Copies of this chain bind each other. A is one copy, B any other.
Amino acid sequence: MYEVARHAGVSLATASRVLNGSSRRPGDAISERVKASAAELGYIANAQAQGLAKKNSGMLGLILHDISDPYFSTIARGVQGSVQDQQKVVLLASTGGGPASERRAVATFAARRADAIVIAGTRTDTEKAAGENELLLTELRRYKANGGKVAVIGQPVVGSVPDDGFHTVPVPNRQLSLQLAADLACAGHRRFLILAGPEGLVTSDERLAGFQEGLKQAGLDPAEVRRTGFNRDGGYDAAVTLAEDLNSGTPSARTGAGDGPAVCVFAASDVMAIGAIAGLREHGLRIPEDVAVAGFDDIETLRDFTPALTTAQLPLSSLGSEAVARVLAEDPPQDPFVAQGHIILRHSTETS
């Protein structure tokens, strides 16, 4: 830039003012001259130096569990899109999940002076993670105290209070799973089985609780719950066990032989549901004739799956852009964002 200034015959200050959006803008003649010089010399501003001199870095940190999981990569698309629109850039951290690695990512982003941090991915609320959650919270508070903005997609960070001023973009897990239960009951299902992740995985727990609540409101008994991995293999494993039960006629086995599926399985995510269907099929069970299966998320890549999967559609990409909007706005809206989601009943839970 020094060279640009000299080439244009102006001071560094002036060159800086025309090249970057300063409030004070030099005269037209000078501006043109500087711009021409910059173009001629192929000048590219050093964003690091700018970041050091200004208070903001133009970077937004995105923390998620696994970038290759379609749930997160769709959120990432939304985040990336908005950030790009704002002429900023995203720093990515794929942590593998868990507050400890999330804390590390926050520290890294803080060191790089990211203007804002968006955290996606379920919170873990267990005894065991209490210490790590505490550290994550401390790290976020320190980051915020130094001027950083924070948004969490899903649930608030465990232990955080409204006063912390972290933005939350809630995912309507509870409402949608409640609705899903209602719709499935309405479609005639009576016996349910829930495949959930380990206890303490808040996203899974919310979906579980919402579903049970929905059954209750429909006047049905609570569903049996099987805890398993909150991923494809978890769904598969649980389904294999279920298939063995059904095929051997144990207490959990098929009841209404002939008239519709014996049981309707609600897997706490689409990916789990897909694993479950694979497991059931391998054991000779047909979907939905023998067992009905519903998922959650409406993952795009799975929309052509057969049988078409009943699920709850989440506006994942919008959740990402909304989080960015809140965290980057001068005057962010105070009212909580209400995500639009809805139930999609498809072939996988048809009853006759």
Contacts and interface: CB of A to CB of B under 8 A. Distances in A.
A304 B275 contact: yes
B89 A90 contact: no
A302 interface: yes
Contacts of A304: 232, 274-275, 277-278
Given A45-B111, A47-B112, A68-B73, A92 B93 contact: no
Copies of this chain present in the complex amount to: 2
Contacts of A91: 59, 89-92
Nearest to A305: B305
A32 B304 CA distance: 60
A48 B277 contact: no
Interface in A231-276: 232, 271, 274-275
Nearest to A273: B304
Category for how many chain A residues contact B: 35 or more
- Most interface-central of A69, A91, A112, A300 (chain B CB within 10 A): A112
A271 B301 contact: yes
Interface stretch (A49-57, A122-130, A152-160, A218-226): A49-57
Contact of A92 (B46, B70, B90): B90
A347 to B, nearest CB: 12
Interface stretch (A3-11, A74-82, A175-183, A196-204): A74-82
Contacts of A69: 73
Contacts of A111: 44-47
B67 A77 contact: yes
Contacts of A93: 80, 84, 89
B70 A77 contact: no
Contact of A306 (B92, B94, B306): B306
- Most interface-central of A68, A69, A70, A84 (chain B CB within 10 A): A68
Contacts of A68: 70, 73-74, 76-77, 300, 317
Nearest to A146: B44
A44 B89 contact: no
Contacts of A74: 68
Interface in A292-328: 299-302, 304-306, 317
A92 B275 CA distance: 30
B48 A57 contact: yes
Interface in A83-122: 84, 89-94, 107-108, 110-113
Contacts of A274: 301, 304
A91 B48 CA distance: 14
A123 B77 CA distance: 21
A332 interface: no
Interface string A32-46: 000000000010111
- Most interface-central of A51, A66, A73, A113 (chain B CB within 10 A): A73
Contacts of A90: 91-92
12 contacts: A44-B107, A48-B112, A67-B67, A67-B76, A68-B76, A73-B76, A80-B93, A91-B91, A91-B92, A281-B306, A301-B301, A305-B306
Given A44-B110, A44-B111, A48-B52, 18 more contacts: A46-B113, A47-B112, A48-B48, A48-B57, A48-B113, A49-B52, A52-B52, A67-B73, A68-B77, A70-B73, A70-B301, A80-B94, A90-B92, A271-B301, A281-B306, A301-B302, A305-B306, A306-B306
